[in-house]
Structure 1
Amino acid sequence: MVDDHDIVRLGVRHALAGRAETVDAADLVEARQKLAAEPFALLLLDLALADGFSLKALPQLRALQPGLRIVVLTSMEEDLYAERALRAGADGFVMKAAPRATLLEAVDTVLAGGVFVSAGLNARLLRRAVQGEPAAARDPLSTREIEVLRLVAAGHSTREIAERLNRSVKTIESHKAALKAKLGADSPAMLVRLALGWLGDSA
């Protein structure tokens, strides 16, 4: 279980008591160390960690143990992140607000070789597949743009975002300009409001 909140790790450990032995990690660095040291059957992973946005790290985490099954357990918006997480290598996506039974179902499904998402998301994915909706229409923002959007919603300045993402100020300004165009924001203040609307409490 990789999450930077003690109370969440404790809650998951309690939820899985009697069904699985859990090992905790508070960040991506610790997760990589533990995955490199011993085999695991399942990884429960939050997306927003203190040392980074773990969506980008999913392929690297899976590469450490190719047979590892991964379930994203997060408070970040399902509509915005679930498909992207699955494409990055996750086998399941569960919201932290879901009941214990949903988490247990996700764990059982994924360990049995399946893929788990909520019934609502599953229906939307099926409808999109049947209707042949192009990927660009349903996923207009890149992973980097979503990272920038999260930091905008959190109130960080362009320079602060550049420092956190190890990019130039000019690059971040370009991302923000692209976000304004894609989201229909005509000012920095409107971009912040739209970012908060898109990301909600997950920002």
Structure 2
Amino acid sequence: MTIRVVLADDEGMIRAGLRMLLDYQPDIEVVGEASDGAEAVSVVLRTRPDVLLIDIRMPRVDGIEATRRIIEELPATRIIVLTTFDEDSYVTGALRAGASGFLLKVSPPEQLLDAVRTVADGRGLLDPAVTLRVIQSLATAPQHDPAHASRLGELTDRETDVLRLVARGLSNAEIAAELYLREATVKTYLSRMLMKLGLRDRVQAVAFAYESGLVRPGSH
């Protein structure tokens, strides 16, 4: 199945480079481009792609607001935010808006391709170089949501343990080692936890864990 992608960046050269890379792949097709956030929303609503690659800093409407508007209209759209090292606050804002992945603009081509395929497959993705920074940013400025906290009661103890470790940035293999479980069992708990909480992926789970108060700054 072909993965349909829209590109949103205010720099034409970047869009051209991304299009060249993506269109060369037999399983990926670029179906639209946008030069600002407002245009990105329009193009996505018209073309209904599987994945949107979007820059954060753009004219008229930035990537965070565009992400929020798109997720409100088309919640199944998978959005990868392209970021730089100095944009931690933007990244956490995009996460809360509904982005499924975060990737540094300097990432190698193979990492970008893997990111597109990963989020198109329904999984969330954080660039390893920004994962810890995103988690630290959430931890230092948590926005406690009582509604989120009440939903924690829907989880079993094991599902809660998995959520807590996901929020600490651990991989499935690391969670399995921590809880003395098989990795396949961790995946099962993760899937059940996401379904019960109405979350799409582990990226959203990280934000939920901090906003619910399950994980607090300095907790381990």
TM-score bin (small chain) = 0.5 to 0.7
Shift of 1:78: 5.0
**How far apart are the structure 1 equivalents of 2:134 and 2:62?**
24
What residue number does 1:44 align with? 53
Mapped to 2, the partners of 1:100 and 1:86 lie a distance apart of 23
Deviations 1:53-104 (A, max 9, x none): 2212321112232211000013363534333321211000111111111111
Alignment partner of 1:21 out of 11, 29, 50:
29
Whole-Å Cα distance in 1 between the matches of residues 126 and 62 of structure 2? 20
Structure 2 partner of 1:92: 101
For 2:29, give the aligned amino acid. Answer: E
Residue type matched to 1:77 in 2?
Answer: D
Aligned residue number for residue 60 of structure 1: 69
Q: What secondary structure does 2:23 align onto?
A: coil
Residue segments in structure 1 that go unaligned for 5+ positions in a row: 129-133, 141-203
Corresponding position of 2:187:
none
18-27 or 29-38, which deviates more: 29-38
Identity, in percent, stands at 32
Deviation at 1:116, TM superposition (A): 1.0
Q: Is the 8 A contact 2:56 2:90 kept in 1?
A: no
* TM-score of the two chains, using structure 1 as the length reference: 0.58
Native 8 Å contact 2:8 2:54 kept in 1: yes
Structure 1 residue 9 and structure 2 residue 12: aligned? no
Structure 1, 78-87 or 2-11: larger mean CA deviation: 78-87
Quote the RMSD (CA, aligned, Å). 2.5
Which residue identity does 2:72 align to in structure 1?
A
Relative to its length, the structure with more strand (as a share) is: 2
CA contact (8 A) 2:38 2:61 kept: no
Pick from 60, 69, 78 the counterpart of residue 69 of structure 1.
78
Q: Contact 1:74–1:96 at 8 Å: present in 2 too? A: yes
What is the DSSP-based 3-state SS (H/G/I as helix, E as strand, rest coil) of the residue aligned with 2:35?
coil
Which stretch of structure 1 is more off in the superposition, 98-107 or 52-61? Answer: 52-61
Contact 1:2/1:24 (<8 A) preserved: yes
2:71 is paired with a residue whose SS is: helix
Query: Structure 2: where are the runs of 5+ without partners?
Result: 1-6, 144-220
Checking the alignment, whether the CA contact within 8 Å between 1:69 and 1:110 is kept in structure 2 is: yes
